[in-house]
Each structure stands twice: as structure tokens, then as C-alpha cells.
Structure 1
Amino acid sequence: MVPPLLSYAEPDSPLQIVAIDEDECFRDTLSNELEPRGFSVTTFADGPSVLEAIDSLAAADLIVLDWDHSSSPGLTLLHQLRRAGVAAPIVFLTRRSIASNECVALENGAIDFIDKSRGYAILAFRLKIARQKVPTAQRDKTFTLGELKLKTQVSRAFWAGTDLDLTVGEFKIVALLAANAGHHVTYRALYDVLHYRGFVAGCGESGYKTNVRSAIRRIRRKFEALDPHFDRIQNYTAFGYIWALDGE
């Protein structure tokens, strides 16, 4: 017997899908067809409506965008979601399966580009496979460390249950420190998460350190506004910062 080239394991709970499509009939049919196949589907008509409901994306396993949307083109919406701190994996649906469009979609971070005409059975199968393409480490939707809770899919941070209202860049710094709790993180590593590895800015070779210090001050003020005794983010002179654990 020839083994399948690619298979997937059925999840223990429904896959959470958020779909944005301007065709109301398609949205209704998508929900009706996918839910019996192991999905929970939330739909929106356009980009503005989903951007106003960012919190609804926190539980999403996949976000499904309409490449051909007339008012909220899929590629434009992908970039808007990323700028808003939404990190959930994205799949495009299209009515016109053109190779050049598929290349652009994949180059911009989509994990699949699916022709709507293939039918719902194929779509369900492809979405489940797309979910398996996501590295296990990126599937966790929340990260908790003491009083800190991070909703990684939407770049939201909470301290003792209250939203810290961090910017996307500030969230990235806190997430990196928390992921390395108890270990020092260099100025360079902290700066790289704000931009990209090797990015140069500031005055002189080490000017980026000033930018990191400024960001840390802003972050600390937001924590201290909720907890005047907050002291988890500590400086290691000339090296970087650490998220201190109890007793440190």
C-alpha cells in the first residue's frame, strides 16, 4: 500500500477560522460547509469591520482573506493586519488562480492560495493542511508568566488582567524578554525585534541602545501605571535587559 504524500491529524477541537469576504452568500455557505467538517467559522464583510474587532482574532487558527475583494483587497488587508500586530497565519481565497498572484501572496507571508472553484471539500482539506504548516511554537495563542498574559495572535499584553495598551513594537520587546525570563537579552536582540536583524539607526555604532532604553522607559511606565511596585524589567549595564523571576 502506497502511503499518502501528505496527511493531517484531526484536531481535538474545531479549527477557529476567521474569513473576510464581501459576498454574503459565500460567507453563509462557507460557514455551513466548513462547520460540519471540523471548523468554527467567524466571518466579516470587509477590512474595516475586522480591524474594528481585532480582539476577535485572538483565538483564530487561520485567517482567510479574499484576494479579489473590491474594497478591501486581500494583500492590502494582510499588511493592515500585520501592522496592527495580528500574527495569525493567513490563507488567500481567489476566483482567479493566476500563478503570478499566488507568488505575490506567498512572498508576502501567506501560507496558501486557494481557488474557490475547487469546492468546499478541497478547501477544508487544504485549510487543515495549512494549519499543520504552522510551526508548533507559533500555534500557542496565549503566553502566561505570573501576572503577565500575552495574546500573541493580536499582540496584546495584560498585567493582572488589565490591558497594558502596548504598541506592536513594545509588545515585541516584552514578548522577547518574557520568553527569555531569567536570562539577559542584549540591546541588539531587543532592537532587532523592533526592526530587523542588523538594522542600523541612532548616532554611532551603538546608537541603537538609546532607542532601546527609550522604549524600555515607555514600557515600564505603562506597567507602573497599573502596578507602582513593578520591577520585572531590569537592566544589565552595557549588555541589555532581563525579565526577572521571583527572587532575582
Structure 2
Amino acid sequence: MNQPPESMTTENPAPAEGQRTIALVDDDRNILTTLSIALQAEGYATRVYSDGEAALEALRKNPPDLAVFDIKMPRMDGMELLQELRKTSALPVIFLTSKDQEEDEEAGLAMGADDYIAKPFSQRLLLARIRAILRRAAPHAETDDTPPTPQAGQAEVITRGRLAMDPARHQVTWDGKPVSLTVTEFLILEALAARPGVIKSRNQLMDAAYPDDVFVDDRTVDSHIKRLRRKFRAVDPDFSAIETLYGAGYSFSDG
């Protein structure tokens, strides 16, 4: 029987002022090393853990700005790690999953993961998701009664009937009720809501949510649409604004 690998923990020196820190939790040391090098090349400080139990204690004591969890790990898997972490922390988390773990993806997103990426994955996609989530998380440091300072080129709030989307804050409401979306879900919904009634093909929605060099299949987009509908129906059981045009794609109705 294969034994779990010896626990690996790497705590780099304290990050420079203003430098963001990313924690990586995966029992594959090649992935830990490769991603750590790629993230450091992008200017991030990194910490790596091959053991969920060791990661949990460290993340509680000294939270990073964002964490990337593998799901399948010995001792404590990514799902258990997120469940324990969510008891005390709202730390942004991205899951790395295998293509045959759709149920795990569903459960992880429901539990509070911010996004998931299927293995094998593009480093460019992961870096794009990390940047997007960190941009989204930044406004949370502001108090609710202090509006953000307008900036040149800042996206305006999108209002379509009962839907309101604030790209700067990554906030979505339906009939004034908040709806929590992952970065990918937000980008797909934004592409649909930009032109109500216009049919968007799956390829167009892929282009809106993923970098040009990343391949995703039709099932991936369909899965995101399924989750979007489920989240909106949790606040409005009659939600039907995202329409399926069989053989063509999807559209958004603001009627």
C-alpha cells in the first residue's frame, strides 16, 4: 500500500510591503514547485504545504491573501481543509480538481470556494483567476458606508431589470438580494447581461471567461450556467432570466 508522502512545508521570508502572498496546498511536489516559481515570477510571495493539517494551522495563524487547494490529498483533503477554514475565515480559495470530480466542484463552490480549475490546467489561467479574485477582494477592506473612489475607466454598475452587477466590487444582486458568484460565473453572466436578448454561443462565453490559449469544452460552460441558475433560484425560485437556445447557446432576458 502506498504511504502518504512526508509532509512538506515551505514558509518564505516575510513579503515586502504591498506584496501579496499566495498559499499552495497540494501533495504533488512538482506542482508546488512549478506554481511557486511561476507565482514568484509574477511578483507574489508564496508558501507551500503538502499536508492539509499543517496548512490549516498555518493559514489560521498567518492568513495569506489567497490560497490554492488540491482536493485529493492524504491526511486532510481540500474539502475538509476548506470546511474547517470557513469556520473562522473568509480567505479566498481556488480549488484544483480532476475532470472526473464534478460533484466535488459543486460541493466546494457551495461550501465557499471562490473558483475551481480542472487539472491539467494552464498556469496562465490560474494566474488570471488569482489576479481577478484579488482585485475582487480588495474593495472588501473598505467600510460598507464608504463608497469607493471613482477611477478613470472604472466599469459602471450594470442594471438589467432586477439584476444589478458591480464589476468593480464583484457584487451581484437580484431584486436587491445578494448572489455570490465565482469569478468565472460573474464573467459569463456579465457577457450575457451586456446585450439582453442576444444569443451568445458557448464559444463566445468561453472567450469571455477564459484566456485565449485555454481550451474548455461545452460541458464546462453548461456546468457554469447550471450553477448560475441554481444560485439565482436560491433567492428567487421563479428565476428564468438565463434562457437556453438549443443548438445556439444562451441569452439573458431582462423582461
TM-score by length of 2: 0.44
- Higher RCO (CA 8 Å, separation ≥ 6 residues): 1
Larger radius of gyration: 1
